[in-house]
Chain A
Amino acid sequence: MKPWTRWLGWLGLFGLGMLFLLVSRLPGEPEAEPPLLETRLLMGTLVSISTWGVEEKQAEAAMEQAFAEMSRIEGMMSRFIPTSPVSGLNDAPRGAFHTVPAELISVVSKGLEIGQLSGGAFDIGLGPLSDLWGFSREPPPETPPAPDALKKWREERDRTPGPGIELASDNRLRLTGPAIGLDLGGIAKGYAVERAMEMLRQAGVVNALINAGGDMRIAGSKGGKPWHIGLRDPRKPDGVVAVMDLTGSKALATSGDYERFFMADGVRYHHILDPKQGGSSRSGLMAVSIQAADSLTADALSTAVFVLGESAGLALLQQFPGCEALLIREDGQMVQTPGFVATRSKTP
Chain B
Amino acid sequence: MKWLELFLRASTPTDRFVLGISAAGILSSGWLITSEPGKRAVVFRDNRPVMTLALDQDRKQEVSGRLGPVIIQVEQGRVRLLEYQSPRMIGTRTGWIQGAGRATACVPCGVLVRVEGKQKGSAPSSAHEFDAVSE
Partners in one complex: yes
- State whether the Cβ of A138 lies closer than 8 Å to any Cβ in chain B: yes
How big is the A interface, by class? 35 or more
B107, B124, B128: which has the most chain A beta carbons within 10 Å? B107
Q: Which one of B5-13, B18-26, B112-120 contacts A?
A: B112-120
B87: interface (CB < 8 Å):
yes
Q: Are A139 and B67 in contact, CB atoms less than 8 angstroms apart?
A: yes
Residues of B within 8 A of A46 (CB): 90, 103, 105, 107, 112
Of the residues A34, A48, A260, contact of B132 by C-beta under 8 Å:
A48
- Assess the B86–A213 pair: CB atoms within 8 A: no
> Which of chain A's residues 16-65 have a Cβ closer than 8 Å to chain B?
29-42, 44-46, 48, 50, 56
Where chain B touches its partner, the secondary structure class is: loop
> What 1/0 flags go to B83-107 for Cβ under 8 Å of A?
0011110100101000001110101
Q: Which residues of A contact B32 (CB under 8 A)?
A: none
- For residue A240, which residues in chain B have a CB less than 8 angstroms away from its CB? 128, 130, 133
Say yes or no: A34-B123 contact (C-beta < 8 A), given A45-B107, A138-B108: yes
**Contact (A232, B103) CB under 8 Å given A30-B123, A237-B93:** no
Q: Which A residue sits closest to B102, measured CB to CB?
A: A37
- In the bound complex, residues from chain B placing their C-beta under 8 Å from that of A229 are 130-134
Number of interface residues of B (CB under 8 A): 36
A273 within 8 Å of B (CB atoms):
no
- Tell yes or no: B46 within 8 A of A by CB: yes
Q: Among A177-185, A249-257, A307-315, which stretch is in contact with chain B?
A: A249-257
A69, CB-defined interface residue at 8 Å: no
A227 at the interface (CB under 8 A from B): yes
Verify if A339 is at the interface (C-beta below 8 Å from B).
no
Q: Is the CB of A248 closer than 8 A to any CB of chain B?
A: no
Residues of B with C-beta under 8 A to A227 = 131-132
Q: Are A139 and B101 in contact, with the CB atoms below 8 A?
A: no
A residues contacting B by CB (< 8 A) are: 29-42, 44-46, 48, 50, 56, 138-140, 209, 211, 213-214, 216, 222, 227-232, 237-238, 240, 243-244, 252-254, 256, 258-262, 289
16 A-B residue pairs with CB within 8 Å: A34-B118, A36-B119, A37-B101, A39-B112, A40-B47, A140-B88, A209-B132, A229-B131, A229-B132, A229-B133, A230-B130, A232-B135, A252-B134, A254-B134, A259-B87, A289-B134
